[in-house]
Structure 1
Amino acid sequence: MPPDFADAWDVAASPRDRRGLEEAEARRRLESGGPNSLQQPENRTIRASVYDAAREPMLLLVAAAALLYLVIGDHGEGLFLIGGVLVTLALVVVQDLRGERALAALRTLAQPSARVIRDGRERRIPTQDLVPGDLVLVGEGERLPADCRLLGGDMLGVDESALTGESATVLRTPGGAGDDARLFAGTLIVRGHAVAEVILTGPRTALGRIGGALAEMGDEPTPLQRSSGRLVRLLGLAALVFCALITAAYGLTRGDWMEAILAGMTFAIALIPEEFPMILTVFMALGAWRLARHNVLVRRPAAVEALGGVTLLCVDKTGTLTENRMELVRLTVDGVDHAIADGLPASGAAVLRTAALASARRSIDPMDRAVLRLSAASESDPVRSWPLRPEKPVVVQLWSRPEGAFAAAKGAPEAVFRLCRLPPDQAAAQLRAVDRLAGEGLRVLAVAACRTSESFPDDPWEAVFVYEGLLGFVDPLRPDAAAALRDAREAGIAVAMITGDHPATALAIAREAGLDETAGVMTGQDVAALSQEALPSRVRDVRIFARVTPDQKLRLVQAFKAAGGVVAMTGDGVNDAPALEAAHIGIAMGQRGTDVAREAADIVLLDDRFASIIGGVRLGRRIFANLQRALTYVTAIHVPIAGLALAPVLLGLPPLLFPLHVVLLELAVDPICALVFEAEPSERNAMRRPPRPAGSPLFGPRQVIAALAQGAGVLVLVLGLYVWGLSWATEAEARGAAFLALIGGNLMLGLVDSAASARIFARQRRAYWVIVLLMSGAMSLIFAAPPLARMFTLQPPGPALLAAAVAVAVLGGGWAVLARLAGDFTGKDRSPGHRAAVPETAPLSG
């Protein structure tokens, strides 16, 4: 702690009334004190983008070729290559800016928020807008957004390891003196809920003064990005070696060393797929941005690659399939059910009041809020609280009365019955009432009270509680949940509902949503009774799990993975973090989830809706497919470019390509990859076929073979056209026809590889047709202007060669069409009208 921290604390702290700050005063303090944030990552500058791009091997080789042309006096060729370098740099900068804008938007969405009281109303605001004097509501699983003083509520258990390095939980007492009431930014609340006053913000907090330990780190490249970078560097090194070998062979055999150097450089430039890193960066950034627009916030870039391959979704019931909008509709007292809408007898009102006294005053729990809405309880804060625990799912709050202590308890019926030590026959009768309410899809809590004139024990389970009654809450199914479940089934994705609710409640909601119930319900006790080795075979067909504790969620995730599934797991609580970490994709709830769950997850669901998860899977499949097509296209088009740069040298023919030709081709390749492929929508039947097999690579042997086959088709046809043209036409005409065919084949491959359907003239493909028009205009200008034709060492082909060039271009694309019809890199296709009938109990491997 900095030496002046205590003084700053005493000066800044001032008791606040329950209205909190006025909004105008909060704005004034924010302007004078600055935002509540530590060091933020700097945006990538244009200078940095240009610097990084200028170090790429391909651009260095092009720059060297331009310098060589200028030295030998071919100023036109040199200036064209310099222009090509500038245009390429501009394209890289544009794509970098697109990615930066997407990442900036993601950072805005990922901005943590805090619950505050301003103008007497509870609000949620970005943590960076907090100011000294704000009243914040803090609770279990949340990280403290600033240095605060604990004013009221529960005694909090706080993990201060982020500040002190000590993992032991410390206790903080509302209204306590000195350190007992202090809460520090970045520390984690592991128990309790309370109201606190912000004292210090931003770099003035204890954590900020120590050195900004929570300053946001820069984005790490994904394993795929790192591997592609290594590939480009290796190919760059290989290109330099081949450049030297080709130059030596050409010079020694033909004696023209200047042309030999150009031939070597041309092959080296053609060999390097420098588009790979740019494609991966752009696709990942824009893919995460597109997912965020559908309320799926990606925290780890690798999740973009994995999301489309999910075979099993493990989802919570409350708030994901249902609206998490609890309404108290039934109350059972002395074995008699009462509908809240019909009014309550005196005994029912007493039970409701006890339930209110067992509820946190400013709770985020929807059941607490539902009880408090109907209750006339006006007490401010309890003397002491014992929050919910997995092993003891009961909340107890202690109140002081003139006649003695009064403790109110509510929680899971089975636990409350144990707390009240009900005789077996009475407990069985009450459990039948619970089953009856749960069978109607209601969530059921039991209520109990303890009145004593003696001191209340430290452990409420040692006190004598009297059972009072049952509460029945309705939580409506989300309107889009059933349709989203149908979409999941058609996509070959199994869905398992895992909830802490009563089995009958879970079964009723599952039946309403359309989940498969043929295998029945498996409870947490059933899970606990099985060994980890026996669990995978038992859970293979079960899709409904009830009364499951967080530690059992972890066991279920491990069992599903052992059964061969690619598992996505949703969670919101502190204890859900291990299960989220263990799943292939952890999905945290953005609205009701804790900070711990969000930190452990790969994805944050901003609206907590199950339909958003399915939408994210759809987008994940689209991103994966488009990225796969783009990488295949880049590989395919480099085959004929590199082959046509090398083959004439080996065959003793005049060179077909020079650096100018390769640069012109590259100017078409980059925008096609970055603009056209990324914007391509999903295939019509993308969600009507099973997920890709687990472990299938983004760019594996199958994709490499398909790309080589496509590129080889264009290479053979264009080389054949060139050889045929040389046999009866001039060298310049043959080169003109072959180069035109190569550009046409390039564009045809781009059209075939990027098109997910026959919608080749759809709005999102406008960029492609703009590129086609630009390349057509460029070739027309080169053929029409003799100086440009001489600079490119070609002439307009005659009618026969022109027709042959067009035919070669079309056939080059046609070869790719045949590959796709045979079941190419996108996988076996199904007709758009076919609806896959994949049962909920399909094998987890998909």
Structure 2
Amino acid sequence: MIEHREQDTRATKGLSEAEAKARFAADGPNELPSRHERTGLRIFLDVMREPMLALLVAGGAIYAAFGETRDAAALLVFACLSILITLVQEWRSEKVLAALRDLSSPRALVIRDGRRQRIAGRDVVRGDIILLSEGDRIPADATLLSASDLQADESLLTGEALPVRKRATTGAGEVQILPGGDNLPFVFSGTLVVRGKGLAEVSATGALTEIGKIGRSLASIRAEPPRLYAQTRRIVFLFAIAGAAVSLLVGGLYAYLRDDWFEAVLAGIAIGMSMLPEEFPVVLAIFMAMGAWRLSKARVLTRRAAAIEALGAATILCADKTGTLTQNRMAIRQVRLPDGRACAVDGAQTVRPDYVEVLHVGLLACDPQPFDPMELAFHDIAAPAAGRNGLTLLRSYAVHPDLLAMSQVWQGDASAPRIIATKGAPEAVFALCRLSPAVRAAAARDVDTMAASGLRVLAIAYGTTMDDLPDCQQDLHPTFLGLVGLADPLRASVPQAIAECRRAGIQVKMITGDYPVTAAAVAHVAGLDRVAPLTGQDLDRLDDAELGERLRRSDVFARIMPHQKLRIVNTLKAQNEVVAMTGDGVNDALSLKAAHIGIAMGARGTDVAREASAIVLLDDDFGSIVQAIRLGRRIYDNLRKAVGFIFAVHLPIAGLAIAPLLFGFPVILGPIHIAFLEMVIDPVCTLVFEVEDEEKDIMDRPPRNPSERLFSSRLIGWSVAQGMVAFAAVMIILVWGSQRQMREDELRAITFLALVMVIIALIFVNRSFSGWTLATGGKLKPALLVVLAAVTGTLAVATLWPPAQDLFRFGALHRQDVIMTISAGLVVLVVLEAMKPLWRLRRPRRAQSLVG
């Protein structure tokens, strides 16, 4: 007896916060060690393998070998700056990813200091009391203190597909055994609760759990990288081969024609550096990490980087009604008796005496410790008048896909009849009560009347029995008592969000398990056009072709079961639509995984749904989905701006490295000059473009074609056009200077300065796709101002300070020279802005919103 009292006390109070902190400090976080966590040393070693750094070091070694110690030291400084910039960028990305990992940690509901708290799974400690319910992934190995029809899927540990039944511990010296045993009181980390509820005390965490014993094998599994990474690796590889070939060819020709091996090798290295777009992988990694972080600030957690790419291509957005379009804060608004009389309800004090019994029985049909919003509504309004004093819960009959109703049986005095309380979908309760056709028809009309006003309707039934309880709920035979209407207000952001989706060419479809008339009423208020619902029963009668046609004509789907939701997803995909699908339950996992973008609910969703999804809504708000699409489009736009800039900027650099060798001009660019340019290009690509504002038409254009490559022919064509204009401007300056018979160092200085000016022009051109960049690109961001200030200051030092002039082999510049170089940059800016309408990067509208 004492042991049971101690167990009850533990279950009620749980650990104190002080105890939990002490055990966390002693045992560490409840997570498996990660072999892939990138430390500062690992990042440094990865940076040291970069080809650009190898070229810088090679150039410095050659200078040193020929006694040019000053040039060698300068290249070494640039190499160190390149390492520092990359380390800062990579470290920033790792910090962002670490923050996202904390957000994505499975959540656990625990009792501490007598209060229920939802905490990150990694914060669970030995001795914690955890509450388990259907759909939860168990956060740690634990012993069950109580269990109600609890079953767990332990296939992750055993390979056995069938779930195993669990019971509460008896405290009689039970021995811990391996997973898979039936009717045992132990649950294990990583396994899934597929049925029932329970209360458990954590016995092991982290590496000490059963899953921790096989953690090394699990940690070795890596997800396939997103499509963008494969494209980027291929482009960089091709450029590297081309650059190496051109470097060898030009270097050999230079040595043969000018008989200067020292300059030939340096020229070859310079050409290799100018043609290697090593920024691509860095830009992609940083944009994906920062994009995921930006989405998390909008209360959207990105679990897979590919989701950011897919968001801009979504054509169909399938959303749940309850909790996504609505607030998921149900309140009882009407009670109706079988004779048709109705009572409007606005709080417990407004319930008239004749209607109190319906709410009494409805409360008894709810879980004693509810989480469901409808059950909470019964507790809020009926608890003051209808307690459970003197009643003991004997048995619960759970909702089943074939019978959308639940019953609870209560016992008072031993000699008194058992009380049966039932609530559920009206048609299910009508079937349980075996109503006559006339009574059923009248009750159905009442349901339609209530549902038409946007109420969610539950039927309540009551019964008593002295017999043994049956195994099936269908054998209870309760008596129909009345109807209860509950309202779940629409979220304030929904109408505007749906209108925004419509402007963006995205169809919104509401899929719900609710009553068809209720679904239609909510859809109408939300702003959906085609609100005539297609029910689950209607759907089952349609073949795939007929369903595809109905999907084009319907936006509301009611009384839909999870397997029907999956069929909807597959049919839409067969029509070449890009589908984003929301879900929260265990059975939604298949449809979430099947959709192009699975969206799980973070607050009320199960761990199973979250793990099957690509993104998680931390606040379950439909407006957050639309905000995620907006951000996804912005991230992808800015990524394309950075990629376009990289393509464009390497053309004049490579051209200026090669042209002097072909046309007899002095060599303008050496390794040190290109190293300096990389100090400009790298932060521009990864910092400046990443923070750019969204385009004004970002939600007024159709979804992006998902088959379109990041390095599309249209983007490459526009980048080549920019690069050729920029190269032409630099060559004009070079020819102009040579015709004035400038000394070699002066010619190098004015040409290099012109190159920097046109690069700055390319930055401004690529800030916006949709118009004149100074008019539509918004204010100058701090990152851009810092880069411009740093470039201006460094150029001033390089052209005015004699030691720096000697290092860069620059001669003195006159006011006329500076005006000419600035004019070259302005001309490039104006010409490219004038060309922009011809190369506008908007996608054409797709017929019928199709992808193909």
Q: TM-score range by the shorter chain?
A: over 0.9
1: CA distance between counterparts of 2:217 and 2:145? 27
Match of 1:207 in 2: 211
Structure 1 residue 128 corresponds to structure 2 residue 144: no
- Structure 1 residues 70-79 or 218-227, which shifts more? 218-227
Task: Determine which of 372, 375, 386 is the counterpart of 1:368.
Answer: 375
Match of 1:720 in 2: 732
Task: Determine which of 557, 573, 590 is the counterpart of 2:585.
Answer: 573
1: CA distance between counterparts of 2:392 and 2:826? 78
Match of 2:136 in 1: 142
Task: Determine which of 816, 821, 828 is the counterpart of 1:805.
Answer: 821
1: CA distance between counterparts of 2:7 and 2:35? 31
The CA deviation at 1:107 is: 1.4
SS at 2:304's partner residue? coil
Question: What letter matches 1:148 in structure 2?
Answer: A
The CA deviation at 1:198 is: 2.7
Q: Would the alpha carbon gap of residues 163 and 382 (structure 1) be closer, same or farther in structure 2, given more than 3 Å must change?
A: farther
SS at 1:125's partner residue? strand
2: CA distance between counterparts of 1:82 and 1:219? 38
Task: Determine which of 473, 489, 511 is the counterpart of 1:476.
Answer: 489
Match of 2:343 in 1: 338
Q: Would the alpha carbon gap of residues 197 and 377 (structure 1) be closer, same or farther in structure 2, given more than 3 Å must change?
A: farther
Structure 1 residue 554 corresponds to structure 2 residue 593: no
Question: What letter matches 1:124 in structure 2?
Answer: R
1:484-541 Cα distance to aligned partner (Å, 9 max, x none): 2222222222211111111111111112222213x62221122211111222222113
Match of 2:806 in 1: 790
Q: Is the 8 A contact 1:734 1:797 kept in 2?
A: no
Match of 2:179 in 1: none
Match of 1:355 in 2: 362
Match of 2:522 in 1: 509
Q: Between Structure 1 and Structure 2, how many residues are aligned?
A: 826
1:136-170 Cα distance to aligned partner (Å, 9 max, x none): 22111111112223333521121011121211011
The CA deviation at 1:357 is: 2.4
Task: Determine which of 646, 656, 662 is the counterpart of 2:668.
Answer: 656
- Structure 1 residues 97-106 or 290-299, which shifts more? 97-106
Structure 1 residue 383 corresponds to structure 2 residue 394: yes
The CA deviation at 1:656 is: 2.2
Task: Determine which of 766, 769, 782 is the counterpart of 2:785.
Answer: 769
The CA deviation at 1:544 is: 1.4
The CA deviation at 1:688 is: 2.3
2: CA distance between counterparts of 1:116 and 1:395? 26
Q: Would the alpha carbon gap of residues 153 and 45 (structure 1) be closer, same or farther in structure 2, given more than 3 Å must change?
A: closer
1:233-272 to 2 correspondence within 5 Å? 233-272=237-276
Match of 1:326 in 2: 330
Match of 1:115 in 2: 109
The CA deviation at 1:842 is: 6.7
Match of 1:66 in 2: 60
2: CA distance between counterparts of 1:120 and 1:522? 46
2: CA distance between counterparts of 1:507 and 1:211? 48
Give the CA RMSD over aligned residues. 2.7
1:225-264 Cα distance to aligned partner (Å, 9 max, x none): 2331343234223322322222211111221111111111
Structure 1 residue 54 corresponds to structure 2 residue 67: no
Structure 1 residue 685 corresponds to structure 2 residue 692: no
Match of 2:606 in 1: 594
2: CA distance between counterparts of 1:195 and 1:433? 40
2: CA distance between counterparts of 1:349 and 1:701? 70
Match of 1:833 in 2: none
Match of 1:744 in 2: 757
Q: Would the alpha carbon gap of residues 32 and 784 (structure 1) be closer, same or farther in structure 2, given more than 3 Å must change?
A: closer
SS at 2:588's partner residue? helix
SS at 2:667's partner residue? coil
2: CA distance between counterparts of 1:432 and 1:125? 46
Q: Would the alpha carbon gap of residues 452 and 662 (structure 1) be closer, same or farther in structure 2, given more than 3 Å must change?
A: same
1:80-229 to 2 correspondence within 5 Å? 80-152=74-146, 154-174=148-168, 180-211=184-215, 221-229=225-233
Q: Is the 8 A contact 1:540 1:563 kept in 2?
A: no
The CA deviation at 1:14 is: 7.9
The CA deviation at 1:15 is: 6.5
Identity %: 41
Q: Would the alpha carbon gap of residues 553 and 79 (structure 1) be closer, same or farther in structure 2, given more than 3 Å must change?
A: same
1:761-793 Cα distance to aligned partner (Å, 9 max, x none): 966622223222222222222222344333323
TM-score by length of 2: 0.92
The CA deviation at 1:812 is: 2.3
The CA deviation at 1:843 is: 3.7
The CA deviation at 1:458 is: 1.1
- Structure 1 residues 454-463 or 182-191, which shifts more? 454-463
The CA deviation at 1:214 is: 6.3
Q: Is the 8 A contact 2:11 2:199 kept in 1?
A: no
Q: Is the 8 A contact 2:505 2:849 kept in 1?
A: no
Q: Is the 8 A contact 1:191 1:387 kept in 2?
A: no
Q: Would the alpha carbon gap of residues 299 and 787 (structure 1) be closer, same or farther in structure 2, given more than 3 Å must change?
A: same
Q: Would the alpha carbon gap of residues 47 and 37 (structure 1) be closer, same or farther in structure 2, given more than 3 Å must change?
A: closer
Q: Would the alpha carbon gap of residues 30 and 84 (structure 1) be closer, same or farther in structure 2, given more than 3 Å must change?
A: closer
Q: Would the alpha carbon gap of residues 495 and 777 (structure 1) be closer, same or farther in structure 2, given more than 3 Å must change?
A: same
Match of 1:695 in 2: 707
Q: Would the alpha carbon gap of residues 738 and 329 (structure 1) be closer, same or farther in structure 2, given more than 3 Å must change?
A: same
Match of 1:5 in 2: none
Q: Is the 8 A contact 2:32 2:212 kept in 1?
A: yes
Q: Is the 8 A contact 2:326 2:489 kept in 1?
A: yes
Match of 2:180 in 1: none
Question: What letter matches 1:509 in structure 2?
Answer: V
1: CA distance between counterparts of 2:446 and 2:35? 57
The CA deviation at 1:291 is: 0.5
Q: Is the 8 A contact 2:457 2:483 kept in 1?
A: yes
TM-score by length of 1: 0.92
Q: Would the alpha carbon gap of residues 125 and 167 (structure 1) be closer, same or farther in structure 2, given more than 3 Å must change?
A: same
Match of 1:436 in 2: 449
Task: Determine which of 292, 309, 314 is the counterpart of 1:310.
Answer: 314
Question: What letter matches 1:713 in structure 2?
Answer: V
The CA deviation at 1:295 is: 0.2
Question: What letter matches 1:356 in structure 2?
Answer: L
Q: Would the alpha carbon gap of residues 30 and 45 (structure 1) be closer, same or farther in structure 2, given more than 3 Å must change?
A: closer
Q: Is the 8 A contact 1:13 1:199 kept in 2?
A: no
1: CA distance between counterparts of 2:143 and 2:411? 24
Question: What letter matches 1:231 in structure 2?
Answer: I
2: CA distance between counterparts of 1:167 and 1:516? 44
1: CA distance between counterparts of 2:217 and 2:201? 23
Q: Would the alpha carbon gap of residues 240 and 842 (structure 1) be closer, same or farther in structure 2, given more than 3 Å must change?
A: closer
The CA deviation at 1:585 is: 0.5
1:729-771 Cα distance to aligned partner (Å, 9 max, x none): 2233222221111110011101210246536896662222322
Unmatched segments (≥5 aa) in structure 2 = 175-182
Q: Is the 8 A contact 1:446 1:470 kept in 2?
A: yes
Question: What letter matches 2:108 in structure 1?
Answer: A
Question: What letter matches 1:361 in structure 2?
Answer: P
- Structure 1 residues 194-203 or 758-767, which shifts more? 758-767
Q: Would the alpha carbon gap of residues 253 and 317 (structure 1) be closer, same or farther in structure 2, given more than 3 Å must change?
A: same
The CA deviation at 1:219 is: 7.6
Question: What letter matches 1:201 in structure 2?
Answer: T
SS at 2:544's partner residue? coil
Unmatched segments (≥5 aa) in structure 1 = 1-8, 830-837
The CA deviation at 1:56 is: 1.3
1: CA distance between counterparts of 2:121 and 2:52? 45
2: CA distance between counterparts of 1:26 and 1:212? 27
2: CA distance between counterparts of 1:512 and 1:600? 31
Match of 2:178 in 1: none
Match of 1:621 in 2: 633
The CA deviation at 1:265 is: 1.1
